[in-house]
Amino acid sequence: MKLSVALCTYNGEKYLADQLASVRAQSRLPDEVVVCDDVSTDGTVGVVRRFAAEVSFPVRVEVNAENLRSTRNFAKAIGLCTGDVVVLSDQDDVWLPHKLETLERTLLAHPEAGFVWSNAAVVNDTLNPLGFTLWDAIRFSPSDQRRVRQGRAFEVLLKRYRVTGATMAFRAAYRDIVLPIPPEWVHDAWIALVIAAVAPCVPIEEPLIRYRQHASQQIGQRMRGLYAQYLLAKQMTRGTFEAVAGRYAMARDRLGGVRGVSARDLELLDRKAQFFTRRAAMRDARWRFPRILREVWEGGYSRYALGWKSVAQDLIL
């Protein structure tokens, strides 16, 4: 099994050396590393080139002609990988030494799995533990983990993002349905959802990376209190919900022509898009309560959103 690492960089000089050192220290080395730099203006590319000159495995360094942003940059890196398995990597985390070995062992033990992903230890910018895991932060509950292991991953991922790209590895055989990645999507959410529609996946409860939190990262995970959640919810406009509906309509369009996708899963995508279209309309409705009550009765909030938390958002905001 050939393992390719797809690493995207952008002005990551401050933390990148730590991540590259952890790749170099793996008990099972990668067969190649593909680095796509998104027009960094610091010393990032120099750090990568020095790394490439020192390691025993091939490192391909691509510097984009223009800024692609995260999703398109990861799509480019994935497309350049030549391995049987693509392992996604952020620029500012630190892998535990047995990460690649564990991912490979899990994929070999589960030949039916389209992708695997692990938990992570959340740390601060100096790599000191913050006392919780990534799965704690995203509330990936034991019940949801059981549902995934029972073959119901698509339902779980349809409701909410559960897979963080920095912890993920997927079989390159599914690249044709993954690419191109719509720029409206976050790359890891898209990859996980579309592969889960055609293949099982395996969650690994053990943390395999140190997931760094710092002010300059694009996307992070923090444990939010109620007030912070309230402030975040207040930012959700009609356009926010319309955008969600549009993203799931895109997924429906992509998967509609893919062999092996069940009619039920396509219907679930349609229903999620329709549910968020209706939620968008509620933002301008004077009398929301009857509409909200109907959605509660029909199970939309529990299947496609965050249950009573989403009900409260629509009632109050």
Provide the CATH number for the domain around residue 126: 3.90.550.10
Does one domain contain both 62 and 191?
yes
pTM, entire model: 0.91
pLDDT tens for each residue of 250-266: 999 999 989 999 999 99
Nearest to 163 by CA among 146, 182, 145: 145
Q: Which of 69-83, 185-199, 231-245 shows the lowest per-residue confidence on average (mean pLDDT)? A: 231-245
* 3-state class percentages of the chain: helix first, strand second, coil last, to nearest 5: 50, 15, 35
The average pLDDT across 19-32 equals: 99
Q: Is residue 186 part of a domain?
A: yes
Q: Say if residue 305's pLDDT is above 90.
A: no
What is the pLDDT at residue 235? 66
Q: Say if residue 58's pLDDT is above 60.
A: yes
What is the pLDDT at residue 218? 44
Non-local (6+) Cβ contacts of 70 within 8 A are 8, 10, 38, 186, 187, 218, 219
Q: Is residue 142 part of a domain?
A: yes
Give the whole-angstrom CA distance, residue 166 versus residue 209. Answer: 8
Query: Which position has the token pair 């996946």?
Result: 201
Q: Say if residue 308's pLDDT is above 80.
A: no
Q: Is residue 218 part of a domain?
A: no
The domain in which residue 144 lies consists of 3-212
Q: Is residue 66 part of a domain?
A: yes
Asked if 148 contacts 36 with a C-beta cutoff of 8 angstroms, the reply is: no
Does one domain contain both 242 and 206?
no
Q: How far is CA 42 from CA 10, 125, 305, in A?
A: 9, 19, 40
The continuous run of DSSP H or E covering 256 comes out as: none
The average pLDDT across 56-76 equals: 98
Tell which wins on pLDDT, 168 or 285. Answer: 168
- Over the chain, what is the mean pLDDT? 92
Q: Is residue 231 part of a domain?
A: yes
Q: Is residue 105 part of a domain?
A: yes
Does one domain contain both 31 and 159?
yes
Per-residue confidence at 228, pLDDT binned at 50, 70, 90?
low
User: At which of 165, 185, 212 does a domain end?
Assistant: 212
Q: Say if residue 283's pLDDT is above 90.
A: no
Per-residue confidence at 300, pLDDT binned at 50, 70, 90?
confident
Dihedral class, residue 39 (left if φ above 0, else alpha if ψ from -120 to 50, else beta): left
Q: Is residue 219 part of a domain?
A: no
Does one domain contain both 26 and 111?
yes
3-state secondary structure of 265: helix
Does one domain contain both 167 and 21?
yes
Does one domain contain both 151 and 268?
no
Give the whole-angstrom CA distance, residue 300 versus residue 294. Answer: 9
Does one domain contain both 132 and 184?
yes
Largest pairwise CA distance in the chain: 65
Does one domain contain both 186 and 233?
no
Per-residue confidence at 233, pLDDT binned at 50, 70, 90?
low
Does one domain contain both 135 and 170?
yes
Q: Say if residue 237's pLDDT is above 90.
A: no
CB-count exposure of residue 255 (10 Å: 0-12, 13-18, 19+): buried
What is the pLDDT at residue 303? 82
Give the whole-angstrom CA distance, residue 76 versus residue 74. Answer: 5
User: At which of 212, 235, 253 does a domain end?
Assistant: 212
Q: What percent of the chain has pLDDT over 90?
A: 77
The average pLDDT across 190-214 equals: 97
What is the pLDDT at residue 197? 98
Does one domain contain both 192 and 302?
no
What is the pLDDT at residue 225? 59
pLDDT tens for each residue of 127-144: 999 999 999 999 999 999
Does one domain contain both 175 and 63?
yes
Does one domain contain both 59 and 123?
yes
User: At which of 161, 188, 212 does a domain end?
Assistant: 212
Nearest to 258 by CA among 186, 312, 207, 194: 194
Q: Is residue 146 part of a domain?
A: yes
Q: Which of the 8 DSSP states describes residue 51?
A: H
Q: Which residues on adjacent β-strands are paired with residue 87?
A: 5, 169
- Provide the number of structural domains found in the chain: 2
Q: Say if residue 174's pLDDT is above 80.
A: yes
Per-residue confidence at 232, pLDDT binned at 50, 70, 90?
low
What is the pLDDT at residue 296? 84
Tell which wins on pLDDT, 308 or 26. Answer: 26
